[in-house]
A and B are shown apart, each in its own frame.
Chain A
Amino acid sequence: MSGIRKSFSGVPALSDAELSIGRGEVHALVGQNGAGKSTMIKILTGAYTKGAGKIEFEGKPIEFASPQEAQRGGISPIYQEINLIPFRSVAENIFLGREYRRNGLLDWRRMNGEAVELLRRFSVEVDVRRPLMDFSTAIQQMVAIARAVSFRARLVIMDEPTSSLDEREVAVLFDVIRQLKREGVSVIFISHRLDELYAVCDRVTVMRDGRTVTTSAMADVNKLQLVAAMLGRDLAAVRERSTGFGGPSGHAGEELLDAKGLQIGRRVRNANVTVRAGQIVGLAGLLGSGRTEIARAIFGADPPDAGTIRLMGKPASPREPSEAITLGVGFCTEDRKIEGIVPEMSVRENLTLALLPRLTRGGVIDEARQREIVDRFIKRLGIKTSGPEQRIRELSGGNQQKVLLARWLCMDPKLLILDEPTRGIDVGAKAEIQSLIKELADQGLGVLMISSELEEIIEGADRVFVLSDGRTVADLARDQVNEPRVMAAMAHGDDVAEPTSVATDA
């Protein structure tokens, strides 16, 4: 196998991306959200057609029209959401689509026998006649891998295979990966947990903004360099101020939020966050480090499994967003389309969605007051719209985000949680929103800001909590915050008692 090489041009999602994998190699593919990893994989497996470029597999140019074709060609993806049929038996799942037959009937004995043998190769001993859903996620993944191997796959793609496994199961999975390697099968391993990459991968390709940034042997890069490559940071260069936040605010009032020892599912294991009035607190961490989960727990959207939350100085455990809202908390979600806007409703109605109960008398909406408030916020935030009755889905991303900000600002909240407040909006609106956040904090609002953009965190936040793998690993005051330090914490996940020493060895 000479390796795969692809390049694309003219496709906005991917421009000049490449990836080459040797026989029997475990190759890590990493990058931020939207870096183009999944697009690459989908093109490779025939789910998307490429815009340009070429793909070679085992020395021959290939172009698969469908995932089925790719599978027959020897490339098998195993997705995060395992795409098997939970109600059918293990053996059936392995042989789905190419069942053995004898005299026109299904040859169960042969299929069950081969299934047992296949799984034994990965040291998995289960009753293959039982339905798949009886088994743990880890076993289900092994079955998916066994299925791939039984297709004589020569390249297996694993997209975040460990996201729902516990440590013991991860160890088993790694054994399987090493076994595949011994058999000459190549593996593309996508994960956000850096430790895992070092544990099992030979080489790594980093993608950013649809480009391949770097490919190197795993042993030649340290974690800090990986994070820097993913975020697009030159470790040496100190960037100039480029966000709309302006200078420090400094003054901090009474405590608004104090969360300790938060534990949420498998994503968040021990997280602490504190926000005071008039402060912008940054929550930094790689994708999958548990940032959004923490925000949702504080807001009562998905209550935590363990840990204590204090809101406005009093113990609180909101079980529903409405309870947090009553206490004076607002939450702008990361995904505007899915969790933010009501697309068919007007700007007016979207803006006052949370405020509406306070605008009613005897259940009837006071439309005059509603209009007055909406007009005020459209003017104040500079929302570009043809009028309050325009449907929100017709607005640009930046203006939708302003409407969603206004949805909470008109509630006069004490604490505002912003999950990626400037993602996917144009530069102008971005700076406007950033300076607005600053202005609000100066007026005494407490802000908890999640952002993948280091600049935003470093220039905007008065205090930064850094998460790594669901744990708070650093708590930095404004004068301690700088790029190397934050990145070091994100990368190493160490207890950053001496963050400086960690940063300098990079």
Chain B
Amino acid sequence: MLEAVKSYAASPQMQGLSKFLRKYATSVALVLLLIFNFAVTPHFATMQTLNVNLTQVATIVIVAVGMTLVIATGGIDLSVGSLMAISGALAPLIFLSHFGKTNLALGVALAFVVPVVVAGLFGLFNGWFITRFRVQPIVGTLILFIAGRGIGQVLTNGNLQPFKNPSFQVIGLSRPFGIPVQVIIMVILVVVAAWMLRRTLFGRQILAVGGNEKAARLSGIPVAWVKRGVYAISGLCAGVAGLVVVAINSSSDANLVGLGMELDAIAAVAVGGTLLSGGQATIVGSLLGALIIQLLRYTMLANGVPDAAALVVKGAIIAIAVWMQRRNVAT
């Protein structure tokens, strides 16, 4: 009996150590990468480098926030890239329409709100479909992954929509206090989502559903609604990211907006240390994961390594991250 108590007392410390390693592995990797760049990469320590990297990573992080919540429930959302395309196609349709041109302020306001809401509704559809018909999430979201981009193309007749609308493009180009606006959006989303996951009923229920769905249901947690909620949030995040991308580009191309985004977001989540099987998640980890992938790519580009090689390294990083997760779970 005494021995049993002792071993219980000892294991949390071991747990603490392993937890510490798991928690800070991504941070350590990021710091090492930064040190390497300060030493090697020319003109690295400039505001411009910082802004370039943050601007490029912002949309991935915004999508990864929603993706983290979905993955926390044990699901996955393949449709985010296509939802970005829909959102990106809708916005210029609204402010370029007759209504948008006659009511300038209202038109721009609607161009911000409507596409995001629509993307959120499509996300809700994902969740409804998955819970109603008990489909695997990878199959359930595959539907909009394919159809979503089609919808975006139909909306625009498959044409490129060029535009110049400074008040809309605030979301991609403005820099309050010298910080790109999408970076501010990114930081706000990360903070709010991390707080939500830790402190709110919804957040804890997300993790309980991912940790043991049967136990969650038998404890009275509305499992189906929790899932619908996270897919809706994932859709909303994709909607915002879609707006940012078209605003930067001054044009909307439903064939290209958000292409491959689902994989970038999943990679960020995986590298960040969130369990792909659900039940454990870290939003800040996903932010760090996205930063590592971004910085790695930048490092190689800035040092003349071809993009093709960069892709291989990106894959290797994901493999290492998943391997470390496995090892941590095993101990």
The chain A residue sitting closest to B12, CB to CB, is A386
Q: Per-residue 0/1 for B180-222: is the Cβ within 8 Å of any A Cβ (1 yes, 0 no)? A: 0000000000000000000111101101100110111111111
Residues 1-29 of B at the A interface (beta carbon under 8 Å) = 4-5, 8-9, 11-12, 15
Q: Per-residue 0/1 for A353-377: is the Cβ within 8 Å of any B Cβ (1 yes, 0 no)? A: 1101100100111010000000000
Are A321 and B220 neighbours in the complex by a CB distance under 8 Å? yes
User: Which residues in B have their C-beta under 8 angstroms from that of A407?
Assistant: 219
Are B15 and A322 neighbours in the complex by a CB distance under 8 Å? no
Q: A394 on the interface (CB 8 Å rule)?
A: yes
Are B215 and A339 neighbours in the complex by a CB distance under 8 Å? yes
Q: B279 on the interface (CB 8 Å rule)?
A: yes
Are A353 and B8 neighbours in the complex by a CB distance under 8 Å? no
Bound-state Cα–Cα, A31 to B201, Å: 45
Q: A437 on the interface (CB 8 Å rule)?
A: no
Are B218 and A363 neighbours in the complex by a CB distance under 8 Å? no
Q: A345 on the interface (CB 8 Å rule)?
A: yes
The chain B residue sitting closest to A387, CB to CB, is B12
Contact of B219 among A326, A354, A360, A391 (CB under 8 A): A354
Are B202 and A363 neighbours in the complex by a CB distance under 8 Å? yes
Task: Give the number of chain A interface residues (Cβ < 8 Å).
Answer: 37
Q: A343 on the interface (CB 8 Å rule)?
A: yes
Are A340 and B215 neighbours in the complex by a CB distance under 8 Å? yes
User: Which residues in B have their C-beta under 8 angstroms from that of A365?
Assistant: 199-201, 204
Bound-state Cα–Cα, A364 to B202, Å: 9
Are A345 and B8 neighbours in the complex by a CB distance under 8 Å? no
Are A394 and B220 neighbours in the complex by a CB distance under 8 Å? no
User: Which residues in B have their C-beta under 8 angstroms from that of A384?
Assistant: 5, 8
Are A299 and B201 neighbours in the complex by a CB distance under 8 Å? no
Q: Please classify the interface of chain B as helix (H, G, I), strand (E, B), loop, or mixed, using the class held by over half of its residues.
A: helix
Q: A333 on the interface (CB 8 Å rule)?
A: yes
Are B208 and A364 neighbours in the complex by a CB distance under 8 Å? no
Min C-beta distance of B161 to chain A, whole Å: 39
The chain A residue sitting closest to B279, CB to CB, is A344
Are A353 and B219 neighbours in the complex by a CB distance under 8 Å? yes
Bound-state Cα–Cα, A386 to B212, Å: 23
Q: B79 on the interface (CB 8 Å rule)?
A: no
Q: Per-residue 0/1 for B228-241: is the Cβ within 8 Å of any A Cβ (1 yes, 0 no)? A: 00000000000000
Q: B280 on the interface (CB 8 Å rule)?
A: yes
User: Which residues in A have their C-beta under 8 angstroms from that of B202?
Assistant: 363
User: Which residues in A have their C-beta under 8 angstroms from that of B8?
Assistant: 384-386, 390, 394-396
Are B208 and A345 neighbours in the complex by a CB distance under 8 Å? yes
Bound-state Cα–Cα, A387 to B13, Å: 12
The chain A residue sitting closest to B205, CB to CB, is A356
Bound-state Cα–Cα, A344 to B200, Å: 18
Bound-state Cα–Cα, A262 to B37, Å: 71
Q: A143 on the interface (CB 8 Å rule)?
A: no
Residues 227-279 of A at the B interface (beta carbon under 8 Å) = none
Most buried by B among A320, A353, A356, A386: A353
Bound-state Cα–Cα, A367 to B198, Å: 11
Once A341-B212, A394-B8, A396-B4 are accepted as A-B contacts, the answer to whether A301 and B201 lie under 8 Å apart by CB is no
Are B217 and A353 neighbours in the complex by a CB distance under 8 Å? no
Are B220 and A354 neighbours in the complex by a CB distance under 8 Å? yes
Size category, B interface: 20 to 34
Contact of B211 among A322, A344, A367, A396 (CB under 8 A): A344
The chain B residue sitting closest to A338, CB to CB, is B214
Bound-state Cα–Cα, A363 to B117, Å: 22
Are A333 and B200 neighbours in the complex by a CB distance under 8 Å? no
User: Which residues in A have their C-beta under 8 angstroms from that of B280?
Assistant: 344
User: Which residues in A have their C-beta under 8 angstroms from that of B220?
Assistant: 321-322, 325-326, 354, 357
User: Which residues in B have their C-beta under 8 angstroms from that of A354?
Assistant: 219-220
Contact of A321 among B201, B211, B218, B279 (CB under 8 A): B218
Bound-state Cα–Cα, A325 to B220, Å: 7
User: Which residues in A have their C-beta under 8 angstroms from that of B15?
Assistant: 391, 394
Q: Per-residue 0/1 for A323-351: is the Cβ within 8 Å of any B Cβ (1 yes, 0 no)? A: 00110000101000011111111000100
Min C-beta distance of A392 to chain B, whole Å: 10
Min C-beta distance of B20 to chain A, whole Å: 15
User: Which residues in A have their C-beta under 8 angstroms from that of B12?
Assistant: 386-387, 390, 394
User: Which residues in B have their C-beta under 8 angstroms from that of A395?
Assistant: 8
The chain A residue sitting closest to B198, CB to CB, is A365
Min C-beta distance of B195 to chain A, whole Å: 9
Bound-state Cα–Cα, A364 to B195, Å: 10
Are B201 and A357 neighbours in the complex by a CB distance under 8 Å? yes
User: Which residues in B have their C-beta under 8 angstroms from that of A344?
Assistant: 211, 279-280
User: Which residues in B have their C-beta under 8 angstroms from that of A345?
Assistant: 207-208, 211, 279
Min C-beta distance of A386 to chain B, whole Å: 5
Are A353 and B199 neighbours in the complex by a CB distance under 8 Å? no
Residues 144-197 of B at the A interface (beta carbon under 8 Å) = none
The chain A residue sitting closest to B4, CB to CB, is A396
Bound-state Cα–Cα, A271 to B269, Å: 50
Most buried by A among B15, B200, B218: B218
Bound-state Cα–Cα, A344 to B280, Å: 8
Q: Per-residue 0/1 for A282-304: is the Cβ within 8 Å of any B Cβ (1 yes, 0 no)? A: 00000000000000000101000
Are A353 and B221 neighbours in the complex by a CB distance under 8 Å? yes
User: Which residues in A have their C-beta under 8 angstroms from that of B215?
Assistant: 333, 339-342, 353
Bound-state Cα–Cα, A167 to B9, Å: 56
User: Which residues in A have their C-beta under 8 angstroms from that of B217?
Assistant: 301, 320-321
Bound-state Cα–Cα, A385 to B15, Å: 14
The chain B residue sitting closest to A331, CB to CB, is B218
Contact of B204 among A320, A321, A356, A387 (CB under 8 A): A356
The chain B residue sitting closest to A391, CB to CB, is B15
Min C-beta distance of B282 to chain A, whole Å: 13
Once A333-B218, A341-B212 are accepted as A-B contacts, the answer to whether A360 and B200 lie under 8 Å apart by CB is yes
- Given contacts A343-B211, A353-B219, A395-B8, could you give 8 more A-B pairs where the C-beta distance is less than 8 Å? A299-B218, A320-B217, A342-B279, A353-B215, A356-B204, A360-B201, A367-B199, A384-B5
Q: List residues of A whose CB falls within 8 A of some B CB.
A: 299, 301, 320-322, 325-326, 331, 333, 338-345, 349, 353-354, 356-357, 360, 363-365, 367, 384-387, 390-391, 394-396, 407
Across the A-B interface, the 8 shortest Cβ-Cβ residue pairs: A342-B211, A322-B220, A325-B220, A354-B219, A353-B219, A342-B212, A360-B201, A339-B214
Q: Show 28 A/B contacts (Cβ-Cβ < 8 Å), sorted by A.
A: A299-B218, A301-B217, A320-B222, A321-B217, A321-B218, A322-B221, A325-B220, A339-B214, A340-B215, A341-B215, A342-B279, A344-B280, A345-B279, A353-B219, A354-B219, A354-B220, A356-B204, A356-B205, A357-B201, A357-B220, A363-B201, A363-B202, A384-B5, A386-B12, A394-B11, A394-B15, A395-B8, A396-B4
Q: List residues of B whose CB falls within 8 A of some A CB.
A: 4-5, 8-9, 11-12, 15, 199-202, 204-205, 207-208, 211-212, 214-222, 279-280
